[in-house]
Amino acid sequence: MEALNVPMADTPVVTFWEGEIVDTKNYTFFTGKWEATPEDDIRHWSKFPSFSPLQNQVEADGGKSLDLSNYPYIFMRWKELYFVNVGTDCGLTIAGFYYVCFSCSDGSINGFYYDPNSSPFQKLELKSTNEGRPGFSFSAYELQ
């Protein structure tokens, strides 16, 4: 990912990410790392309306008994691992991670950032662009 107009950086800041797709086999709705508790997980996943029909089963067994193969949404976690082109003093943090939901019907991606030392529920929105080139428009903001 490339972050533009970072106040403490002279150039765009590039970060390297990894992701986990919640498939209930390899990865469940419970993170189990990055300082996230099951309560944090439920609190963040429940911000997505598409999670509501799954919540009772997730609370019961982490969603392990769910079959998400035909579900119209894909749930993921995205974690920035390191800065590619700047040092850690660039003014940004990569300590947390994102709870992410991809809509198969419209291609939109929504996420909520989790870091116990940052403002809660910072929202990420990516929407596909139809401006003659592939890509996404991006906005991020804190929920009040």
Percent of the chain at pLDDT > 70 equals: 88
Residue 59 backbone phi and psi in degrees, to 5: -65, -30
Per-residue confidence (pLDDT) for residue 59, from 0 to 100: 94
Per-residue confidence (pLDDT) for residue 130, from 0 to 100: 61
CA angle 22, 55, 57 (to 5 degrees): 80
CB 10 within 8 A of CB 2: no
Per-residue confidence (pLDDT) for residue 10, from 0 to 100: 84
d(CA 42, CA 79): 18
Q: Which has more pLDDT, 10 or 131?
A: 10
Percent of the chain at pLDDT > 90 equals: 56
d(CA 108, CA 103): 5
DSSP element (H, E) containing 60: helix 55-61
d(CA 93, CA 76): 20
Note the residue count of the chain. Answer: 144
- What are 48-94's pLDDT values in tens digits? 999 999 999 999 998 899 999 999 999 999 999 999 998 888 878 88
CB 137 within 8 A of CB 129: yes
What mean pLDDT do residues 104-112 have?
91
Per-residue confidence (pLDDT) for residue 107, from 0 to 100: 86
Helix (H, G, I), strand (E, B) or coil at 101: strand
Per-residue confidence (pLDDT) for residue 120, from 0 to 100: 80
Banded pLDDT at 144 (limits 50, 70, 90): very low
pTM: 0.83
Between the CA of residue 90 and those of 37, 115, 118, 132, what are the distances in Å? 29, 18, 16, 33
